[in-house]
């Protein structure tokens, strides 16, 4: 029977010990994110929503009255969808290959499949042009043999092609993870009922992997919508991101149109993110008991070769720019010919002997940014999944917003906010130091590590921590002995993504680099690519960037095995 009618007092926090610590952590995170994400973004919004007579929606309304902008919006959505579709054509078969088949060198295929994300800007586009451009290798061949040229890289379709080949790894990794997570019992139950082969794939396997695929597709959509580099390189400006960039850098920082476009970009990206969350639901993927045994079919001999052939056909187009960059790095003259007509090693001498600082700077910034992101991501994920502070979901939302902020906007916002303010004790504004680069990278990549940390922590079931606590381990001892070790792989994988994408970041870099000696690889490439002499050296730097990232990915792949996927996932 119910006891005396005592009042049940609602609490702000669970009265678990450590509540004070939670609040402190929450406050610290909120302050950090507020200072480096919310406040600069608010300044951007202020310009977009502010007229000469005060706050107004007039700019937003005016946006939709401009056919050019509306077309840009339409093109952006179209490009996003098309890039996802085309990317899926490459990613899905590869995902099946990697997730369901076991053949020698599968790990290499997996690593190669991640490389397209690492196309150093500028030089990547140049390489694409050399291979797929109007007078590139492929078209020259076609002209000489068949007398036709295919405009691969022209207009919107060129942008879509490059973006699909650039971002499909997101779809690949998420689908692979989903396929690997599918309970083999589901497949087996269907097989017993007579369904196998392609039908099994179509009716059982793929539908079960669908949520993972959707996550990857939406991530790709967001990246495509925000992509600035590709449209600029291909000189196609009827898209939202390049329009925003053009407005802000040409007309000036007070051009409301540019900021309105930024707002719309943010809205689109956030919408896609929300949709992705819904698609994935709140499924708990706790490893309770034995995990599902991986169901893979071993392939040897002729069948393994066939698998390799399929992988090669799918991966080859995506790795073309990398091939182009390598060739370009050894070339002195490569003009209107299949291959360079004059080769040289001077480019490497130039960059390795005369400008090694680009490489060191990149390592320094990217590693620091990744470390910051891993710690922040773990902290936020922990608060979200284990904490009890009310309003912690706001942290998740804020930490995800950078996905939707174009790099150039962030850079301008930082310039605006931090330039007039001296860091206490230093006597210099933040923007005069390389610290601002690390912060910009960390902020832009934080969403990935938060996702990775979240997914990883979800797999550490609460009961694992509770059993440790019941044995006498305080929450911090539990974290150190149980939670963090189990999260390591996922966190490292998340850090890897942050590292990889920071190493070739350009759009914020270009505005925030205080001086050339402090520039990273991407900036070095930009500087070199400003003249005819520099193409080769720029390409050589590009090769170094690719190697750096490829080696890093491979190393982490070996160490983290399963974990790499979680970083690219939602």
Partner 1 sequence: MAHAMLTALSALALLLTAGVAPALAQGGELVVVTSFPKELFEAYKKAFEAATPGVRVVIKQQQTNQGVTYLRETRARPDADIFWVSSVDAFITLKSEGLLEKAKAPNAAAPRVPARIGDFPIHDPDGLFYGFAVSGYGLMWNTRYLQAHRLAPPKEWIDLVEPRYHNHLVMSAPSRSGTTHLTVEVILQAYGWQKGWEILLAAGGNMGTITERSFGTPEAVISGQYGVGVVIDFFGLSAIASGQPVDFGYPTLTAVVPASVGRVKGAPNPAGADRFIDYLLSDEGQRLLFSPAIGRLPVVPALYARGPKGYPNPFQLKLGGVRFDAKLSSSRVNLVNSLFDHLVTFRHAELRAAWKAIHDATAAVARARSGGRDVGRAEGLLAEARQLASAVPLDEKKADRALNDAFKAKADVKAAHETQWDAFAKANYAKARALAEQAATAAR
Partner 2 sequence: MASASIELQGVGKLYGAHWAVRGVSLRVAPGEFFTLLGPSGCGKTTVLRMIAGFADPDLGEIRLDGEPVAGVPPWRRDLGLVFQSYALWPHLDVFEHVAFGLRERRVPAAEIRRRVEEALALVGLEGLEGRRPSQLSGGQQQRVALARTLVVRPRALLLDEPLSNLDARLRAQMRLELRRLHQDLGITTLYVTHDQEEAMALSTRVALLDRGEVIQVGPPADVYRRPRTRFVAEFLGAANLVPGRLAIGPGVQMVQLRDGLTLTVSGVELGDGTPVLCVVRPEAIQRAAPDARVPNRLFATVESAVYLGGRWDCELSLAGGLTLRAQLPASAAGTPPKPGELLTVAIPPEDLVVLPE
Q: Can you tell me the distance from the alpha carbon of 462 to that of 110, in angstroms, rounded to the nearest whole number? A: 32
Q: Which structure tokens are listed for 129?
A: 């042009």
Q: Which of 120, 23, 113, 36 is nearest to 442 (CA)?
A: 36
Contact between 33 and 398 under an 8 Å Cβ cutoff? The reply is yes
- Which is closer to partner 2, CB of 275 or CB of 486? 486
CA distances from 510 to 44, 358, 514, 519 (A): 19, 14, 9, 9
Alpha helices in 281-406 (DSSP H): 302-329, 346-349, 357-386, 393-400
Burial category of 194 from C-beta neighbours within 10 Å (exposed 0-12, middle 13-18, buried 19 and up): exposed
Q: Binding to partner 1 by residue 52, rule CB under 8 A?
A: yes
Which of 426, 462, 547, 561: binder of partner 1 (CB under 8 A)? 426
Q: Binding to partner 1 by residue 416, rule CB under 8 A?
A: yes
Q: Binding to partner 1 by residue 470, rule CB under 8 A?
A: no
Quick note: the x/- pattern for partner 1 over 202-221, rule CB under 8 A, is: --------------------
Which residues from 283-302 bind partner 2, rule CB under 8 A?
A: 287-291
Q: Binding to partner 1 by residue 531, rule CB under 8 A?
A: yes
- Which is closer to partner 1, CB of 202 or CB of 481? 481
Q: Binding to partner 1 by residue 166, rule CB under 8 A?
A: no
Q: Binding to partner 1 by residue 271, rule CB under 8 A?
A: no
Site stretch for partner 2 (CB under 8 A), options 126-134, 272-280, 339-347, 460-468: 460-468
Q: Which of 441, 450, 461, 570 is nearest to 513 (CA)?
A: 441
Q: Binding to partner 2 by residue 533, rule CB under 8 A?
A: no
Site stretch for partner 1 (CB under 8 A), options 107-115, 185-193, 267-275, 379-387: 379-387
The backbone region for 297, taken as left when phi is positive above 0, alpha when psi lies in -120 to 50, beta otherwise, is beta
Q: Can you tell me the distance from the alpha carbon of 328 to that of 338, in angstroms, rounded to the nearest whole number? A: 12
Q: Binding to partner 2 by residue 354, rule CB under 8 A?
A: no
Q: Binding to partner 2 by residue 148, rule CB under 8 A?
A: no
Q: Binding to partner 2 by residue 71, rule CB under 8 A?
A: no
Q: Binding to partner 2 by residue 8, rule CB under 8 A?
A: yes
Q: Which structure tokens are listed for 365?
A: 């910034």
- The binder of 235, among partner 1, partner 2, none, by C-beta within 5 to 8 A per type, is partner 1
Q: Binding to partner 1 by residue 340, rule CB under 8 A?
A: no
DSSP assignments along 20-89, one per residue: HHHHHHHHHHHHHHIIIIIHHHHHHHHHHTEETTEE-SHHHHHHHT-HHHHHHHHHHHHHHHHHHHHHHH
Q: Binding to partner 2 by residue 1, rule CB under 8 A?
A: yes
DSSP 341: S
Q: Binding to partner 2 by residue 250, rule CB under 8 A?
A: no
Which of 54, 470, 515, 532: binder of partner 2 (CB under 8 A)? 470
Q: Binding to partner 2 by residue 468, rule CB under 8 A?
A: yes
Q: Strand 54-55 relative to strand 50-51: parallel, antiparallel, unpaired?
A: antiparallel
Q: Binding to partner 1 by residue 237, rule CB under 8 A?
A: yes
Q: H or E segment at 570? A: none
Dihedral angle sign, alpha carbons of residues 173, 174, 175, 180: positive
The backbone region for 121, taken as left when phi is positive above 0, alpha when psi lies in -120 to 50, beta otherwise, is beta
Rounded to a whole number of angstroms, the minimum distance from the CB of residue 467 to partner 2 is 4
Rounded to a whole number of angstroms, the minimum distance from the CB of residue 47 to partner 1 is 10
Q: Can you tell me the distance from the alpha carbon of 336 to that of 347, in angstroms, rounded to the nearest whole number? A: 21
Site stretch for partner 1 (CB under 8 A), options 8-16, 263-271, 373-381, 561-569: 373-381
Which of 67, 145, 472, 515: binder of partner 2 (CB under 8 A)? 472
Q: Binding to partner 2 by residue 466, rule CB under 8 A?
A: yes
Site stretch for partner 2 (CB under 8 A), options 320-328, 421-429, 440-448, 481-489: 481-489
Residue reference for tokens 């939302």: 397
Site stretch for partner 1 (CB under 8 A), options 74-82, 101-109, 125-133, 262-270: 125-133
Residue ranges in contact with partner 2 by CB under 8 A: 1-4, 6, 8, 14-18, 287-291, 461, 463-464, 466-475, 477-478, 481-482, 485-486
């Amino acid at each position: 029977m119910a006891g005396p009618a005592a009042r049940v007092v609602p609490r702000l926090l669970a009265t678990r010990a450590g509540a004070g610590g939670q609040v402190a952590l929450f406050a610290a995170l909120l302050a950090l994110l507020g200072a480096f994400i919310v406040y600069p973004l608010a300044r951007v919004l202020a310009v977009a929503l502010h007229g000469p007579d005060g706050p107004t929606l007039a700019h937003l309304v005016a946006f939709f009255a401009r056919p050019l902008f509306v077309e840009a919006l339409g093109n952006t959505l179209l490009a996003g969808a098309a890039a996802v579709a085309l990317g899926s054509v490459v990613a899905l078969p590869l995902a099946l290959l990697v997730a369901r088949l076991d053949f020698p060198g599968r790990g290499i295929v997996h690593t190669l499949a991640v490389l397209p994300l690492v196309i150093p800007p500028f030089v990547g586009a140049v390489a694409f042009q050399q291979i797929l451009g109007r007078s590139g290798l492929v078209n020259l061949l076609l002209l000489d043999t068949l007398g036709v040229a295919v405009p691969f890289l022209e207009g919107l379709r060129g942008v879509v092609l490059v973006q699909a080949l650039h971002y499909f790894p997101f779809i690949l990794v998420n689908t692979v993870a989903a396929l690997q997570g599918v309970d083999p019992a589901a497949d087996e139950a269907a097989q017993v009922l007579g369904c196998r082969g392609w039908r099994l794939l179509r009716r059982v396997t793929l539908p079960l992997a669908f949520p993972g695929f959707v996550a990857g597709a939406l991530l790709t959509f967001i990246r495509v919508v925000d992509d600035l580099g590709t449209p600029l390189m291909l000189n196609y400006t009827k898209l939202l991101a390049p329009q925003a960039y053009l407005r802000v850098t040409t007309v000036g920082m007070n051009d409301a149109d540019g900021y309105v476009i930024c707002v719309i970009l943010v809205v689109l990206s956030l919408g896609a993110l929300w949709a992705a969350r819904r698609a994935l639901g709140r499924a708990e993927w706790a490893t309770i008991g034995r995990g599902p045994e991986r169901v893979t079919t071993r392939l040897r001999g002729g069948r393994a070769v066939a698998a390799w052939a399929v992988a090669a056909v799918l991966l080859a187009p995506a790795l073309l720019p990398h091939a182009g960059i390598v060739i370009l790095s050894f070339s002195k003259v490569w003009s209107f010919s299949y291959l360079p007509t004059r080769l040289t090693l001077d480019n490497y001498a130039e960059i390795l002997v005369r400008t090694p600082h680009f490489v060191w700077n990149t390592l320094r910034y990217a590693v620091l940014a990744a470390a910051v992101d891993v710690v922040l991501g773990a902290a936020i994920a922990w608060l979200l999944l284990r904490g009890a502070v009310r309003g912690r979901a706001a942290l998740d939302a804020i930490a995800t917003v950078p996905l939707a902020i174009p790099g150039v906007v962030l850079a301008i916002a930082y310039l605006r906010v931090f330039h007039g303010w001296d860091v206490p004790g230093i006597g210099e504004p933040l923007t005069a130091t390389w610290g601002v680069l690390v912060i910009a990278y960390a902020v832009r990549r934080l969403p990935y590590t938060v996702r990775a940390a979240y997914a990883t922590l979800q797999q550490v079931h609460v009961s694992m921590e509770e059993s440790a606590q019941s044995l006498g381990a305080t929450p911090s001892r539990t974290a150190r002995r149980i939670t963090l070790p189990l999260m390591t792989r996922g966190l490292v994988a998340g850090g890897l993504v942050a590292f990889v994408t920071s190493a070739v970041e350009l759009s914020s870099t270009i505005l925030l680099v205080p001086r050339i000696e402090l520039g990273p690889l991407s900036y070095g490439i930009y500087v070199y690519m400003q003249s005819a002499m520099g193409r080769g050296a720029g390409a050589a730097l590009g090769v170094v960037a690719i190697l750096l990232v490829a080696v890093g990915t491979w190393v982490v792949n070996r160490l983290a095995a399963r974990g790499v996927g979680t970083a690219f996932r939602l």
